[in-house]
């Protein structure tokens, strides 16, 4: 080919562009603002994310040495100012910003909407633990709402069948991002409930930006999860991602695989637990038998079993003693009460009106009342005189 000597390699082109950008003073010290998206904090300490505005986006990286100096935690949806430099990553032929300083510039629109809805539903009580339903211990059918393709459903199937080969996975494909996805997810949850198609539901999708996960932050999905009669496990995004669906669901899993582990018990572990319970029961029974045997032997060595009537005879003697004590108490009380009675009778006799009459006195009555003074009588009154040996009627003449 006649142009072969004029051609350059891809590597040369990328290096040329990198050098051009590196020599541009403006691009070496640039201040740019935008909204964070697709944020990932790598285990190495480096931060990878996209900075975007209404029309464009650019990839960014902040190395660990700079990331450690941040006084806040970057999140999807945050608006920030970034000071850094632009360079080309030669291998991929893409340019990106190498951030050295980052400062907050408020929250993005989506993140603001997320916080507003979260606060609203929390005040209404949709996140309260009292409304959370228990996940069945041994579910037979696991309902999964996720995309029909991709690694999510494969991971759930692999983990579930490994833990319990007898479990049945029922997939209801739903879109997990994009316009109209929230309504389709809500319809799917209602459909599974109305037809009682599962013992527990897993709502799952892989990681993504705040925009990608947004259907799971919609109010229609949150309220449908809350109204579901079937317990729901939410496994949306990565471990660091928290959606509204996570807060409303009966259980939150950090990943779809973890959701399968939470929904499906490991049948091997269950068998081991049952065997453990059986062994504990057997050991407990053996100890119980040995204890009862020791008690029996101790009882047989006791005098009670050697002379069974001896204890009865001892109790008879005790009863006889109590009877004698009781008889003595009754006799003493009787003599005491008899003496007191004689004294009372003597006093009554001494104060008796009959005694007064016997000494020569009389008692005069008029109209059934005792006459005490002459003023109580007048001429012609009929009176009754009581004497010791009888009564006499009389009339007052003077």
Is 184 a residue whose pLDDT tops 60?
Answer: yes
Which of 67, 85, 107 is a domain's end point? 107
SS (H, E, C) 206-220: CCCCCCCCHHHHCHH
Rounded Cα gap, residues 231 and 285, in angstroms:
39
Rounded Cα gap, residues 148 and 171, in angstroms:
8
Indicate whether 77 belongs to any domain: yes
Rounded Cα gap, residues 40 and 389, in angstroms:
132
The total of structural domains in the chain comes to 4
Predicted local confidence at residue 306, as pLDDT: 58
Note the pLDDT tens digit of each residue in 9-20. 888 888 888 888
| Closest alpha carbon to 107 in 116, 119, 97, 96 | 116
Record the tokens describing residue 37, joined without a space: 């998206």
Predicted local confidence at residue 91, as pLDDT: 87
Beta bridge partners of residue 382, listed in sequence order: 395
Neighbours of 260 (CB within 10 A): 27
Cβ 215 vs Cβ 162: under 8 Å: no
Clarify whether residues 224 and 256 are in a common domain.
yes
Cβ 387 vs Cβ 393: under 8 Å: no
Predicted local confidence at residue 303, as pLDDT: 57
% of residues, the chain, pLDDT over 70:
92
Of residues 338 and 234, more confidence is placed in: 234
SS (H, E, C) the chain: CCCHHHCCCHHHHHHHHHHHHHCCHHHHCEEEEEEEEEEEECCCCCEEEEEECCCCEEEEEECHHHHCCCCCCCCCCEEEEEEEEEEEECCCCEEEEEEEEEEEEEECHHHHHHHHHHHHHHHHCCCCHHHCCCCCCCCCEEEEEECCCCHHHHHHHHHHHHHCCCCEEEEEECCCCCCCHHHHHHHHHHHHHHCCCCCEEEEEECCCCCCCCHHHHCHHHHHHHHHCCCCEEEEECCCCCCCHHHHHCCEECCCHHHHHHHHCCCHHHHHHHHHHHHHHHHHHHHHHHHHHHHHHHHHHCCHHHHCHHHHHHHHHHHHHHHHHHHHHHHHHHHHHHHHHHHHHHHHHHHCCHHHHHHCCCCEEEECCEECCCHHHCCCCCEEEEEECCEEEEEECCC
Indicate whether 45 belongs to any domain: yes
Choose the weakest-confidence range: 131-140, 175-184, 328-337, 348-357. 348-357
Indicate whether 332 belongs to any domain: yes
Is 1 a residue whose pLDDT tops 70?
Answer: no
pTM for the complete prediction? 0.53
Q: What is the mean predicted confidence (pLDDT) over 146-161?
A: 89
Clarify whether residues 129 and 101 are in a common domain.
no
* Average model confidence (pLDDT) across the chain: 86
Note the pLDDT tens digit of each residue in 68-113. 999 888 988 888 999 999 999 888 888 999 999 998 886 667 778 8
Which domain does 367 fall in, by range? 354-395
Is 144 a residue whose pLDDT tops 90?
Answer: yes
Clarify whether residues 209 and 237 are in a common domain.
yes
How does residue 329 score in pLDDT terms, banded at 50, 70 and 90? Answer: confident
Clarify whether residues 100 and 144 are in a common domain.
no
Clarify whether residues 128 and 254 are in a common domain.
yes
Clarify whether residues 235 and 329 are in a common domain.
no
Quick one: CA dihedral 343, 348, 351, 352, positive or negative?
negative
Indicate whether 338 belongs to any domain: yes
Predicted local confidence at residue 24, as pLDDT: 84
Predicted local confidence at residue 307, as pLDDT: 63
Indicate whether 290 belongs to any domain: no
Is 247 a residue whose pLDDT tops 80?
Answer: yes
How does residue 46 score in pLDDT terms, banded at 50, 70 and 90? Answer: very high
Of residues 336 and 124, more confidence is placed in: 124
Is 255 a residue whose pLDDT tops 70?
Answer: yes
Rounded Cα gap, residues 194 and 192, in angstroms:
6
Clarify whether residues 139 and 61 are in a common domain.
no
Predicted local confidence at residue 324, as pLDDT: 86
Clarify whether residues 161 and 256 are in a common domain.
yes
Predicted local confidence at residue 225, as pLDDT: 95
Q: How many residues does the chain have?
A: 398
Indicate whether 360 belongs to any domain: yes
Clarify whether residues 309 and 366 are in a common domain.
no
How does residue 44 score in pLDDT terms, banded at 50, 70 and 90? Answer: very high
Predicted local confidence at residue 302, as pLDDT: 63
Indicate whether 282 belongs to any domain: no
Which of 44, 77, 107 is a domain's end point? 107
Predicted local confidence at residue 304, as pLDDT: 55
Clarify whether residues 196 and 317 are in a common domain.
no
Q: What is the mean predicted confidence (pLDDT) over 250-273?
A: 89
- Give buried/exposed letters for 44-55 (b at 16+ CB in 10 A, else e): eeebebbbbeee
Is 237 a residue whose pLDDT tops 90?
Answer: no
Clarify whether residues 251 and 142 are in a common domain.
yes
Note the pLDDT tens digit of each residue in 269-328. 888 888 888 889 888 888 888 888 888 777 766 655 556 677 777 787 888 888 888 888
Domain holding 239: CATH number?
A: 3.40.50.10550
% of residues, the chain, pLDDT over 90:
38
Which of 206, 241, 265 is a domain's end point? 265
Indicate whether 31 belongs to any domain: yes
Residue listed under structure tokens 């799917």: 188
Clarify whether residues 44 and 121 are in a common domain.
no
């Amino acid at each position: 080919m006649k142009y072969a000597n004029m051609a350059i390699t891809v590597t040369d082109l990328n290096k040329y562009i990198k050098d051009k950008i590196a020599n541009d003073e403006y691009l070496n010290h640039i201040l740019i603002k935008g909204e964070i998206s697709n944020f990932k904090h790598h285990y190495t300490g480096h931060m990878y994310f996209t900075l975007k505005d209404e029309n464009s986006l650019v990839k960014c990286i902040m190395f660990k040495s700079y990331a450690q100096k941040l006084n806040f935690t970057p999140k999807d949806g945050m608006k920030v100012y970034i000071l850094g430099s632009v360079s080309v990553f030669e291998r991929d032929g893409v340019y990106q910003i190498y951030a050295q300083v980052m400062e907050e510039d408020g929250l993005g629109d989506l993140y603001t909407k997320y916080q507003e809805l979260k606060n609203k539903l929390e005040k209404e009580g949709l996140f309260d633990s009292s409304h959370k339903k228990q996940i069945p211990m041994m579910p037979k059918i696991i309902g999964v709402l996720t995309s029909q393709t991709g690694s999510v459903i494969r991971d759930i199937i692999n983990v579930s069948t490994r833990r319990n080969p007898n479990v049945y996975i029922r997939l209801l494909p739903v879109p997990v991002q994009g316009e109209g996805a929230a309504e389709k997810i809500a319809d799917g949850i209602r459909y599974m409930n109305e037809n009682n198609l599962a013992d527990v539901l897993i709502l799952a999708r892989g990681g993504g930006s705040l925009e990608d996960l947004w259907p799971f932050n919609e109010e229609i999905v949150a309220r449908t999860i809350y109204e579901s009669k079937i317990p729901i496990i939410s496994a949306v995004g990565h471990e660091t991602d928290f959606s509204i669906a996570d807060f409303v669901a009966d259980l939150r899993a950090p990943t779809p695989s973890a959701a399968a582990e939470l929904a499906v018990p490991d049948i091997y572990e269950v068998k081991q637990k049952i065997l453990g319970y059986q062994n504990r029961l057997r050991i407990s029974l053996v100890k119980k038998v040995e204890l009862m045997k020791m008690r029996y032997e101790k009882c047989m060595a006791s005098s009670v079993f050697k002379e069974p009537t001896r204890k009865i005879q001892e109790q008879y003697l005790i009863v006889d003693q109590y009877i004698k004590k009781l008889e003595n108490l009754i006799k003493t009380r009787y003599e005491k009460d008899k003496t007191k009675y004689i004294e009372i009778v003597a006093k009554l006799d001494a104060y008796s009106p009959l005694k007064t009459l016997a000494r020569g006195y009389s008692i005069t009555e008029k109209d059934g009342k005792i006459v005490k003074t002459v003023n109580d009588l007048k001429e012609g009154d009929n009176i009754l005189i009581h004497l010791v040996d009888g009564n006499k009627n009389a009339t007052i003449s003077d």
